[in-house]
Amino acid sequence: MNMDMSASESTQTPNGNTRVMILATVAFALCFAGWTLYAPLAVYFQDEFKLSSTMVGLLLATPVLLGSIAKIPMGILTDKFGGRLVFTIMLLFGFVSLFITGFARSYGLLLVCGLFYGLIGSSFAVGIPHVSGWYPKKKQGLALGVYGVGNAGTALSAFGAPLIAESMGWDKAFIFYAFPLLFMAFIYWFFTSDAPKPANVKVSTLSDKLKLFKSSRLAWIFCLFYFMFFGFFVCFSVWLPSYLCDFYNISPVKAGSLTSIFVFLSAFTRILGGYLGDKFNGRKIMILLTVIVLVVAVFLNLNLTLTTSLMVFYVMGTCLGIGNGVVYKLVAEYFPKDTGAVGGLVGAAGGLGGFFLPIILGTIKDYTNNYSLGFIFVSLVCLMCLSFMEENTLASANRKVADAVKA
């Protein structure tokens, strides 16, 4: 039983559930740590298997692929069966798949294993409806921002995996990160519960959700911006260690430590993004953040020192984190009855950004032998997002959501 529910089971919106929010955040962080393990270990894979930058980019992106695609069905399943059951099963699956990955001994097997354990990358789509269901609309942005701090799991892998690889071998890192998922599965099952369903709200069918995907322009605009915000977060989280080692000739351990700062900034500023989304105009915030990321990407084309380059990356990471928080606050606000489904769709778009962008940047590096065109590509993606954000987009959506809620 949860202790924090202050509303009735069927007629009122719950006023919050701190326990579910915290445990979901921890579970998400552990899943994210396992999901991004390939990134800090890429240098070891490259040395052992003699991989090109394109092959490394493909390997880094492989877990992201399944995690991205799975967010849509995981969000729908969570709307139907509840986050407690779906998250618990996901944690157990993550334990098994990561443990098996520790025994892979070839590039091909690593690709296959990445597809399997990549499922835990869809955990975000499970926690979004599980957490938001416990909070009223005016508090959802902050609650989801706190949940989004689970992105800091990337820092757990960026910092810890190279240390394990140096002392015991890269294969042991997968086994080390697998067991916390098993422990968390039991914690999640016994210490969380699902928010009560309001009696007067019609449950959307699968057909309703598919029609929503087809007809809602706003959902696809959120997808585009999350493709950029979250896609670049994942991209640079997994790509930055290799970039720092190659361009500045530093050790994998130091590169992992420096990357962990980028990850922590991106993860913890999601809270600020959710708060700002609660208080201010989400459209204007997204536009401002996108412009800043665009300008920062232009600066990265210059011949910067390591310190200056890191400061620029950290500014970018901060903007990406705030943007991630704002987008999901808006998802919960504009799609209250279908938060899991639309959140899964938006999350899938972000995950696909994290899948394709490392491959694109790696391919650009292989063919040009420099990183400048990659940063120009980042700027072009930002320009594309800005071109789709029309003045009346959220205003018209506000009217439709108000009508839907009344119905």
In the chain, the amino acid numbered 299 is F
Return the pLDDT at 29: 93
Phi, psi of 192 (to 5 degrees): -125, 165
Strand ranges inside 261-369, DSSP E: none
* pLDDT tens-digit series, residues 300-318: 888 788 889 899 999 999 9
Q: Evaluate if residue 340 carries a pLDDT over 90.
A: no
Residue 199 pLDDT:
58
* pLDDT above 70 coverage of the chain, percent: 87
- The reported pLDDT for the residue numbered 372 is 78
CATH-assigned architecture of domain 18-406: Up-down Bundle (1.20)
Percent of the chain surpassing pLDDT 90: 20
Cα-to-chain-centroid distance, residue 139: 21
* pLDDT score of 177 more than 90: yes
Per-residue model confidence (pLDDT) at position 1: 40
For the chain, the structural domain boundaries read 18-406
The number of angstroms, rounded, from the C-alpha of 83 to the middle of its chain's C-alpha atoms is: 17
Question: CA-CA distance, 267 to 320, in Å (whole number)?
Answer: 9
Q: Which of the four pLDDT bands, split at 50, 70 and 90, describes residue 403?
A: very low
Higher pLDDT residue, 331 or 167? 167
Sequence-separated (6 or more) residues with CB below 8 Å from residue 269: 317, 318, 321, 322, 325
Nearest to 371 by CA among 209, 242, 265: 242
Cβ–Cβ < 8 Å for 17, 182 = no
Tokens 């839907």 belong to which residue? Answer: 404
pLDDT value for 12: 59
String of DSSP letters for 251-281: -HHHHHHHHHHHHHHHHHHHHHHHHHHHHS-
Cα–chain-centroid distance for residue 185?
Answer: 20
Residue 262's closest CA among 178, 368, 152?
Answer: 152
pLDDT band at 289 (very low <50, low <70, confident <90, very high): very high
What gap in Å lies between CA 331 and CA 340, rounded to an integer?
9
pLDDT digits (tens, 9 = 90+) for 181-221: 999 999 999 999 888 776 555 555 556 566 666 666 778 88
Residue 76 to residue 122: CA distance in whole angstroms: 12
Confidence of residue 88 (pLDDT cuts 50, 70, 90): very high
User: What's the average model confidence in pLDDT over 44-49?
Assistant: 86
Encoded tokens for 76: 């729908």
Whether 119 and 97 have beta carbons less than 8 Å apart is answered as yes
Q: What is the reported pLDDT for 128?
A: 83
The pLDDT of residue 173 is 92
Q: State the Cα–Cα distance between residues 331 and 230, nearest whole angstrom.
A: 14
Query: Residue 389 CB: number of other CB atoms within 10 A?
Result: 16
* Full DSSP string of 153-179: HHHHHHHHHHHHHHHH-HHHHHHHHHH
So what's the pLDDT on residue 91? 96
Query: What's the rounded Cα separation, in Å, for the pair 282 and 237?
Result: 25
